[in-house]
């Protein structure tokens, strides 16, 4: 039985969300404090709900005549995602939440965005979600992910536009897992 131990609370009052094109070199698995290479775009300010994580499993029940409850559960699917409300609006963030697209400067200081064609594949990213407090870091890495959020935003007089970013992990070539986590926090040590 686990002991009651507040030192195992996980609170990350600071953090970052980074995006890079799929195929970018992944962060090191053995050091969550190492700086990311310049190909990673830091999305900037995120609303005060921080970075969210979702993990799901789909199952199918196998039933037997002799039992009123399932006798076996088969895993038929798994999902993992990262989400956040992006408060900084720029080309990279705008394109990422819309699944790609292109920008051009049509006139000096006039910019045009065109979303992906209706039949275009979604842009794929490496997603790194990072939380930290002091020198304790935790990173969750999705080696291959696509955006999955329905984008809705509003022009209002009393709040900034906020872009909903949601990325779902896909199976990446050469990986038998769709995501992984690295941390230097002691509460993840064996026996803690």
State residue 191's pLDDT score.
66
State residue 7's pLDDT score.
77
Strands 41-42 and 52-62: unpaired
Which residues share a beta bridge with 181?
Answer: 140
Q: How many CB atoms lie within 10 A of CB 164?
A: 16
**pLDDT one digit per residue (tens) for the chain, 192 residues:** 468 888 788 889 999 999 999 999 999 888 899 999 999 999 999 999 999 999 999 999 999 999 999 999 999 999 999 999 999 999 999 999 999 999 999 999 999 999 999 999 999 999 999 999 999 999 999 999 999 888 998 899 998 999 999 999 999 998 889 999 999 987 777 765
Cα–Cα distance between 125 and 102 in angstroms, integer?
A: 16
State residue 190's pLDDT score.
75
State residue 140's pLDDT score.
96
Is residue 92 within 8 A of residue 20, CB to CB? The reply is no
Give me the residue spans of the domains in the chain: 19-188
């Amino acid at each position: 039985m686990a002991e009651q131990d507040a030192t195992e609370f996980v609170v990350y009052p600071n953090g970052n969300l980074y995006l890079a094109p799929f195929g970018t070199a992944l962060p090191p698995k053995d050091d969550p404090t190492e700086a990311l290479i310049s190909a990673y775009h830091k999305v900037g300010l995120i609303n005060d709900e921080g970075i969210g994580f979702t993990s799901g499993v789909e199952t199918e029940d196998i039933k037997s005549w002799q039992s009123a409850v399932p006798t076996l559960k088969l895993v038929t699917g798994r999902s993992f995602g990262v989400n956040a409300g992006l408060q900084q609006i720029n080309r990279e963030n705008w394109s990422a939440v819309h699944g790609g697209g292109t920008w051009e400067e049509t006139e000096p200081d006039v910019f045009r965005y065109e979303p992906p064609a209706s039949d275009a594949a979604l842009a794929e990213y490496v997603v790194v979600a990072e939380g930290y407090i002091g020198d304790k870091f935790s990173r969750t890495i999705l080696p291959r992910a696509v955006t999955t959020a329905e984008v809705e935003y509003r022009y209002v007089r009393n709040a900034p536009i906020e872009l909903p970013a949601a990325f779902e992990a896909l199976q990446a070539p050469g990986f038998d897992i769709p995501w992984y986590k690295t941390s230097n926090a002691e509460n993840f040590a064996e026996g803690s």
